[in-house]
Amino acid sequence: MSAAAGVAGRPAADPSGTGAAGRASRAVRGYAPAVLVAAGGLVAWELVIRVANLNSFILPAPSAIIAALVENWNGVRFPLWQSAQNTIIEAVGGFLIGTTAGVVVAFLAARWGGMRALLLPLAVAANAIPIIAFAPLFNTWFGLLNPLSKMMMAAVLSFFPVMANVTRGLAGVDPAQLELMRSYAAPQGTVLRKVRIPNALPYFFTALKLASTLSLIGAIVAEYFGGQGSVLGRMIVQSASALKFDITWAAVSLAAIAGITFYLVIAAIERVAIPWHASSRSEG
């Protein structure tokens, strides 16, 4: 900790400082190298396929994948856009169910130490189970053709990181902060609102980012085991078995774009919600 007088950090909270334009251009500069590398990778990929004359069976060129994507966007046999929407609904629905349940259980666990002692080891054990292996069972329980069976898989996968992280955030408060609150004779409810919940927010957002990825994985893998036709998981399985790998790749690309978008949306909310946290001020 520097003892020098003066402002040690960057004046990120300075209201008169760099505006949105400055921040945007800094963001562009920040992401530029990654975008360039990704673009370079795609060009290299395209070139390698063309030069080596690889069979699209092994790896289609990016141009072929884009063509398949455009061609089947509103396709009859492979309606990619409709499928992406249905899968996203399953993933987001499951994410919301799992996250809500995770937060509720975390609050209960943080409130009652006995419950925490009971739940956390169980949660750790349950989290070690490859839950995805239950997908066929979920289809039986919630209905093969009912999107709820995919949603529940996404929900269960989202539940554990949210519950474990939020519990940790609510319970793992700096003991000195609790001593301070005790010296103010602050009631437990006040400690919860003013210390535990804000303390848990960074943990919560870390968990949400994990859950966003996991919910999409849960939904798509659950779809592999059957269900309604127009979903990305079915598109991937059916196009692959029909040896239409360019469509498989197109569907996988859509899933990737959906996952990245989901993650970025949460990261953006995080930046607005907890600007004071180190993860939100890693500029420059």
Partner 1 sequence: MAGSADSAPIVHISGVDKVFAGREGGRTTALSAIDLDIRPGEFVSLIGPSGCGKSTLLRVIGDLVQPTRGSVQVNGKSAEQARRDRDYGMVFQAPVLFDWRSVEDNVKLPLEILGKDKAWRAKRAKEMLELVELGEFTKHMPYQLSGGMQQRVAIARALSFEPRILLMDEPFGALDEMTRERMNDEVLRIWGQTGTTVVFVTHSIPEAVYLSSRVVVMSARPGRITRVVDIDLPRPRSDASRETPRYFELITEVREALRAGGGDVDDAGTPSAARTLAEGAVG
Positions that interact with partner 1 (CB under 8 A): 1-13, 15, 113, 116-117, 171-186, 190, 194-195, 198, 201, 274, 276-278, 281
Q: Helices 147-171 and 113-128 sit at what angle, rounded to 10 degrees? A: 130
Residue for token digits 């940790």? 168
Minimum CB separation from partner 1 for residue 96, in Å? 25
Nearer of residues 199 and 230 to partner 1, judged by Cβ: 199
Nearer to partner 1 (CB atom), residue 271 or residue 281: 281
Q: Is the dihedral of CA 183, 188, 192, 193 positive or negative?
A: negative
- In the complex, least distance from residue 204 CB atom to partner 1, rounded to whole angstroms: 13
Write down the least CB distance from residue 168 to partner 1, Å.
9
Q: Which is nearer to partner 1, 183 or 241 (CB)?
A: 183
DSSP 8-state code for residue 159: H
User: Is the Cβ–Cβ distance between 232 and 220 less than 8 Å?
Assistant: yes
Structure tokens at 132: 């995805």
CA distances from 209 to 74, 105, 161, 163, 271 (A): 30, 19, 10, 13, 12
On the CB side of 150, CA atoms within 13 Å amount to 29
Q: What is the DSSP letter of 146?
A: S
Minimum CB distance to partner 1 smaller for 1 or for 51: 1
CB 177, min distance to partner 1, A: 6
Name which of 89 and 192 has its Cβ closer to partner 1.
192
Minimum Å gap between C-beta 206 and partner 1 is 15
Q: Rounded to an integer, what distance in angstroms lies between the CA atom of residue 48 and that of residue 98? A: 43
